[in-house]
């Protein structure tokens, strides 16, 4: 943490982040449900969660890219993770959400039926040595938190696969 940020936090009556809280923050994720699947994205990569915006289809886009949406005066590609994994579309619900994630100067909106904020995951290896063959390369691992099993997403790999045309 920068000295300037530490001073601002202290001036606001907060406690500056320590190495312990930095590690704890790195383990915080935001949950996104698509149908019956739960995904966890690192909180630091989540730019915002918005109500599902109007989506404009883009000709010749991959099937999992539903189109683009105007979010805070930016055109953001909207991706359906269920289409990417299983070839079936996430159920559209009246109160659907789009979770906007950023990495490597790219951003994408992921649609979902529900979000869950700040889930503390224990962490672990980036890749499970015994990962099932059907696991997409952008799923780093699976981890249980409470009653839910979360597929923990590697945001950089997800962006590469969904927006840069990598295999997935």
Query: What pLDDT is recorded for position 87?
Result: 80
Residue 48: in which H helix or E strand, if any?
strand 46-51
Q: For the segment 25-83, what is each residue's pLDDT rounded down to a tens digit? A: 558 999 999 888 899 999 999 999 999 889 999 999 988 999 999 999 999 999 998 88
Q: For the segment 95-121, what is each residue's pLDDT rounded down to a tens digit? A: 788 999 998 888 999 998 889 888 998
Query: What pLDDT is recorded for position 77?
Result: 94
Query: What pLDDT is recorded for position 123?
Result: 72
Name the CA radius of gyration of the chain, rounded. Answer: 17
CA distance 28 to 41: 9
Mean pLDDT of 129-157: 83
Question: 14 or 119: which carries more pLDDT confidence?
Answer: 119
Question: 162 or 164: which carries more pLDDT confidence?
Answer: 162
Mean pLDDT, the chain, whole residue set: 79
User: Which of 68-77, 83-92, 139-148, 150-159 has the weakest average pLDDT?
Assistant: 83-92
Mean pLDDT of 10-30: 56
Domains and CATH numbers, the chain: 28-163 (2.40.50.180)
Rounded alpha-carbon distances, angstroms, from residue 100 to 44, 52, 145: 11, 11, 22
Tell which residue, 53, 47, 87, 51, has the closest CA to residue 67.
Answer: 53
């Amino acid at each position: 943490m920068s000295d300037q940020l530490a001073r601002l936090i202290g001036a606001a009556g907060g406690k500056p982040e320590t190495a312990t809280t930095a590690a704890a923050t790195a383990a915080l994720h935001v949950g996104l449900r698509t149908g019956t699947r739960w995904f966890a994205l690192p909180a630091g990569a989540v730019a915002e969660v918005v109500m599902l915006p109007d989506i404009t289809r883009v000709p010749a886009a991959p099937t999992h890219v539903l189109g683009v949406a105007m979010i805070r005066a930016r055109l953001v590609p909207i991706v359906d993770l269920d289409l990417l994994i299983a070839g079936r579309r996430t159920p559209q619900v009246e109160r659907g959400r789009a979770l906007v994630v950023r990495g490597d100067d790219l951003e994408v909106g992921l649609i979902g039926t529900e979000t869950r904020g700040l889930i503390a995951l224990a962490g672990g290896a980036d890749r499970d040595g015994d990962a099932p063959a059907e696991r997409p390369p952008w799923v780093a691992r699976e981890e249980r938190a409470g009653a839910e099993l979360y597929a923990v997403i590697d945001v950089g790999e997800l962006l590469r696969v969904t927006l840069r045309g990598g295999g997935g």
